[in-house]
Structure 1
Amino acid sequence: MNYVIGIDLGTSAVKALLVDQKGHVAAEASEDFPLYHDQPGYSEQDPDDWVRQTKKAIRSLIQHSKVAPQAIKGLSFSGQMHGLVLLDKNMRPLRRAILWNDTRTTQECHEIEAQVGLKDLLAIAKNRALEGFTLPKLLWVKKHEPEQFQHATTFLLPKDYVRYHLTGQVGMDLSDAAGTLLLDITNRRWSAKIAERLGVDLTLCPPIVEAEACVGHLTRGAASETGLTEETMVFAGGADNACGAIGSGILSEGKTMCSIGTSGVVLSYEPSGNQDFSGKVHYFNHAKKGSFYTMGVTLAAGYSLDWFKKTFVKAESFEALFQHIKEVPVGSKGLLFTPYIVGERTPHADSSIRGSFIGVDATHTKWDFARAVVEGITFSLNESINILKESGKTIDSVISIGGGAKSEEWLQIQADVFDAPIIKLKNEQGPGMGAAMLAAVGCGFFPSLEACSDVFIEVERQISPIPENVQAYKALFKLYQTVYGQTQTLSEHLQALK
């Protein structure tokens, strides 16, 4: 039996999966690394922590699985998007990486849209300038740390830096390059027009490769440190959301996924790069060659529930929490929650907006609040579903992965709010499985990602909407949509008083 490894470089940890040719997970390992928040809005990591912990995770896989290294034919990557890793001529980081959830670049976003022009930006990069993207971070360093910036020779995204340390090869795949705001999405090349208008030297941009491409083999040093062989093929890999889509079978028209982790994502397959969503949702190149996807983001999805639990019901397990939620009626007895606790992305690109509970009265219990949090997160995700439906896209069903797929009650809430059947997968491993599938196809185990999907991905069951719940949630969703406009100014004033 031959195997591949899928490496998912997340925001808090790296997770490695050892997967056989039939899609069975033979072993998995995870290693944490720290986050640094030196100032409000700052979020950074040391890129060398990623490298060290990735090698450690791979070594742990081999030790615990007892699989012969020679049987592991290839590996690929999924990675947290947008993070800026700025490198000098020796390919050493000039500073800590600035991550996707760093919000210091609001001014740079305004400058990008003013200097490039919103019309041209949307035509080329297909997305508005938001704090999470890489280009605003690049401009921030150029402006605020000019001495560091003058020594920069290239930049990479997180997984690409790890891959460089395993192979010695520099590159960035299209699905991650699409999240920089420097890529011409349709023509699949770095945009000279955007770079010129902002004074960015395109030589900073690494070579572009396909997510499915073999970029080399492990170096002798990397093989020694991980326990693998120098013959192990290394594939470029893709952005975490693109790999999550592959790992969920989002590989053809009509397929839609809802992923609830720290943030929440609604992602739908697009066969071409010619759609126009006017920046209402993200539009990126897929990790499947020649295809694209639209994506809406809730910045604090699972994070909102985690915050609520730690703050108000710390002693309860998540299982107990959802048992209590199940006993609260639909609509949380007239209580609404907006999950804007770290700002919002879709449909409100607003780093200043903050969350709120609306409709609080003396009869509400902590469990009413808990259900309101889960419903509010799901309403926020439904904003993205709504945009896709209004664009003419048919959503026959939604594949649910991540934390939202681990609770029966939350799966039912998704079905009722989205008004669509929810599909739960049997062996849901998210982006790590998508990375493993890229490696499996690259190693020749399968002729295509679709053929690999037929073997690797199994449906456990389907959860159908409950008609009376659907109607109740439709009325509540209309009210939810009004809360942002009613609280935006209040949030700005409160933020100013901090």
Structure 2
Amino acid sequence: MSRAYLGIDIGTFESKGVVVAGDGRVLASARRPHRMIVPRAGWAEHDAEAAWWGEFASISRELTADAAVSASEIRAVGASGIGPCMLPVDADGQPLMNAALYGVDTRAAAEIEELTAEIGRDALLASGGNLLTSQSVGPKILWLRKHRPELFARTDKILNSNSFLVRRLTGRTVIDHYSGCGFSPLYDIATRSWTDRYADRIVAPERLPELCWSTDVVGGVTAAAAEATGLMPGTPVIAGTIDAASEAVSVGVCGPGQMMVMYGSTIFIILVTDRRVEDPRLWYSPWLFEGRHACMAGLATSGTLTHWFRDQFARELDPAEAMRRLAEEAATSPAGAKGLVVLPYFSGERTPIHDPYAKGMIFGLDLTHERQDLYRAVLEGIAYGVRHVLDTYAENARLPEAIAAVGGGTRNDVWFQAVSDAVRRPQVLRRETIGASYGNAFLAALGVGDAAEGDIEQWNPSERAVAPVDANRSVYDAGYRLFRQLYDRNKDLMRPT
């Protein structure tokens, strides 16, 4: 073997890495668990030094020491991570605080309202393609400026997860356009550049990374990074991107009309289009490749909610077996969970309602319900959230006949089937479901010219599809109607008084 590619991804609860051969075979893999830090309600953080760089370096060392591949055979490196995140670093690239994570971190709710009132919804959509939500980095930078002024004064750059990793690897401070657009309202979609309109109000463009495309080779591994990671000095490094985009690429979602649903700590959905979809309920970004666009959506708590359920209601189970056991129990509960409906808004909600004050709800309980019904209702509540997103998509664009699915949640048969039943579309699984780290390896191969986009079909062919069960349609249609009514009738009560 003469060509191999390293891909590493930093997730919400786990980092994963793979070395992939030029024909798509996984030669070696590794993973590291970590925790999401929740210092107070509505905050979600990572220790970037430990969970981002520390785990990247540890995984890289393990993979390059594997007998199946040597560092000298790795042609290029691709890195991704959760995002958009807000990490201030000093002039030496050292983190000044824990990273504030993506939309699950709702600390900047007041700043979102403040900036939206100042700038105006129409102006935000026209210049940045997105309204301000908990997913936006701009309000979190304003939060930093207002509430941690001493840290803001010491801040040299504001980084995303992949930006931080690339800086440690190469010394370059860059960010891809797809990730950069999440820094609303600082990214201008017309010029594909940072705007200076908010230099005095939020942050100056000079304190943001240089913009580039995801597959651009932005540098080589430095001597210091080589010592930390086991990689060869000079190994090419691409700019990389946010994990969800790499997940999409890993399952063949590259061109217009293709859609991915990612089952992870959150559900994330990407529809690639040939034009910009303008809908304030959804997110917009340039896609990874110039001339294409992405229409995106994401739930706030999905896999995170299943972890919460396990920790609160299945403490007696072996942690290594708990998720499998809960899924087996849920399979004994009928579709519709005996009338239970869950609103999965346990950390606010992102698309399409964009409500940081939204609250979780378990509706319909009676004395006949057992744990398996509760857990099934949690999974179905997430499925209803996906349907809400797809209904919103359908108002703007034609949906594909089948959806590419990826992520750890696809191993939960009840959850996976419930989504197909709720949205009434088949989901296709590829041979490799590793996700973003695999997509990073493919993007790295693209970056150095060793692969073409269409090669992902040979790298990772389709393996099976899960179709909706017609007999469940009326049950899930009724559950979905109740799901929508529960939020609409209670949303005012969810806001703080």
When normalised by structure 1's length, the TM-score is 0.94
Alignment of 1:248-327 (within 5 A): 248-273=251-276, 275-277=277-279, 279-316=280-317, 317-327=322-332
Q: For residue 222 of structure 1, what is the aligned residue in structure 2?
A: 225
Aligned CA distance change for structure 1 residues 385 and 124 (closer, same or farther; 3 Å): same
Letter paired with 2:307: D
Counterpart of 1:340 in structure 2: which amino acid? Y
**Whole-Å Cα distance in 2 between the matches of residues 87 and 394 of structure 1?**
41
Per-residue deviation at 1:33? Answer: 4.2
Contact 1:76 1:438 survives alignment (8 Å): yes
Is 1:408 the counterpart of 2:413? The answer is yes
Bigger shift: residues 135-144 or 224-233: 224-233
1:33–1:325 CA distance, 2 compared to 1 (3 A): closer
Cα distance in 1, alignment partners of residues 447 and 32 from structure 2: 26
Matched AA of 1:28: S
Q: Is the 8 A contact 2:135 2:350 kept in 1?
A: no
Say if 1:26 and 1:65, in contact at 8 Å, map to a contact too: no
* Structure 2 CA distance for aligned equivalents of residues 34 and 420 of structure 1: 34
Give the superposition deviation at 1:283: 1.1
Aligned mates of 1:106, 1:363 — CA distance in 2:
39
The offset of 1:155, in angstroms, is 1.5
| Structure 2 contact 222–234 (Cα < 8 Å) conserved | no
Residue segments in structure 1 that go unaligned for 5+ positions in a row: none
Correspondence list, 1:44-443, <5 A = 44-49=45-50, 50-100=52-102, 101-181=104-184, 182-193=186-197, 195-196=198-199, 198-273=201-276, 275-277=277-279, 279-316=280-317, 317-443=322-448
The separation in 2 between residues aligned to 1:329 and 1:32, in whole angstroms, is: 33
Stretches of structure 2 lacking an aligned partner (at least 5 in a row): none
104-113 or 151-160, larger mean C-alpha shift? 151-160
1:65–1:185 distance in 2 versus 1, CA, 3 Å: farther
Which residue matches 2:15? Answer: 14
Residue 34 of structure 1: how far off its partner (Å): 4.8
Contact 2:28-2:68 at 8 Å conserved across structures: no
- Alignment partners' CA distance in 2, 1:199 and 1:430: 34
Deviation at 1:328, TM superposition (A): 1.8
**How large is the RMSD of aligned CA atoms in angstroms?**
1.8
CA distance in 1 between counterparts of 2:288 and 2:397 reads 24
- CA distances 1:70-124 after superposition (whole Å, capped 9, x unpaired): 1111101111112112123333333332222322111110121112211010112
**Cα distance, 1:313–1:91 mapped onto 2, change above 3 Å:** closer
Q: How far does residue 368 in structure 1 lie from its aligned partner after superposition?
A: 1.4
Q: Within the alignment, does 1:478 sit opposite 2:478 as a pair?
A: no
Letter matched to residue 460 of structure 2: I
Amino acid at match of 2:272: Y
Tell me which amino acid in the other structure corresponds to 1:143: K
Count of residue correspondences? 489
> What's the CA shift for 1:197?
7.6
Equivalent-residue separation in structure 2 for 1:294 and 1:71 (angstroms): 37
Question: Residue type matched to 1:473 in 2?
Answer: Y
Provide the rounded CA distance (Å) in 2 between the counterparts of 1:258 and 1:488.
26
* Residues 230 and 185 of structure 1, relative CA distance in 2, 3 Å threshold: same
Shift of 1:11: 2.5
